[in-house]
Structure 1
Amino acid sequence: MPASIYQRPKNAMQSGRARTDDWVLDFVPAEAKKPDPLMGWAGSGDTQQQVQLSFPDCDAAKAYADKYGIDVHVVPTPARRLKLQAYADNFR
């Protein structure tokens, strides 16, 4: 049961950075989703896809994975690049 550990990204719909310091452990899907014959919704019998664990730092997530024998892949956090510009730059 492989999993991936990554830092939660910033919400694109809001300007705040709440909950971006948390690290998340997500399990990789064990089976593909298939459409339900009656409703047409996508679903599968894999209940691990519904589990998402939050940790305060990457080391705590790795320790949890080691304790329970979970194979993990750590996704590094990309560096934040700030584009600093002023309103006056529009008129140069």
Structure 2
Amino acid sequence: MFARIYQPAKTAMSSGTANTQHWVLEFEAEEAKRIDPLMGWHGSGDTRGQIQLTFETKDAAVEYARRHGLPFQVQEPKTRRPNVRARGYGDNFAHDRRGAWTH
């Protein structure tokens, strides 16, 4: 039972960073998923793959894993350059705009 501690990335469909400020502890699957012959669904007998614990800080997640004797690996998040415009989104529609209006 191996645990992975990471900070989730933002979704590809969103420009915001909601739900990316917490840390997640997930368990790695111990057995491979198999296809149910009747329905065609994927599943396994390993129920720990469904567990996702969230923590406020990385230290809290690491402390939890150590307290419960779980082997773990911490994946540090990749930092991203903030995309901050000088005047914000409203600058696209400003009356004193200096560039050519293309749309």
Give the alignment's TM-score, normalised by structure 1. 0.86
Between the aligned partners of 1:63 and 1:84, the Cα distance in structure 2 is 35
1:19-76 deviations in whole A, cap 9, x for unaligned?
Answer: 1110000000000000001011110000000000000010000000001001000001
Aligned to 1:71: 71
Using the TM superposition, give the Cα deviation of residue 15 of structure 1 relative to its aligned residue in structure 2, in angstroms. Answer: 2.0
Identity of aligned residues (%): 50
The size of the alignment, in residue pairs, is 89
- The Cα RMSD (Å) is 1.9
Runs ≥4 residues deviating over 2 A: 81-88
Aligned to 1:43: 43
Aligned to 2:54: 54
Structure 1, unmatched stretches of 5+, are none
Between the aligned partners of 2:66 and 2:57, the Cα distance in structure 1 is 15
Structure 2, unmatched stretches of 5+, are 87-91, 93-98
Is structure 2 residue 62 aligned with structure 1 residue 27?
Answer: no
**Secondary structure at the residue paired with 2:76?**
coil
Which AA in structure 2 matches 1:49?
G
Larger of the two Rg values belongs to structure: 2
Between the aligned partners of 1:20 and 1:51, the Cα distance in structure 2 is 18
Residue 17 and residue 85 in structure 1: after superposition, are their counterparts in 2 closer, same or farther (change >3 A)? closer
Give the alignment's TM-score, normalised by structure 2. 0.78
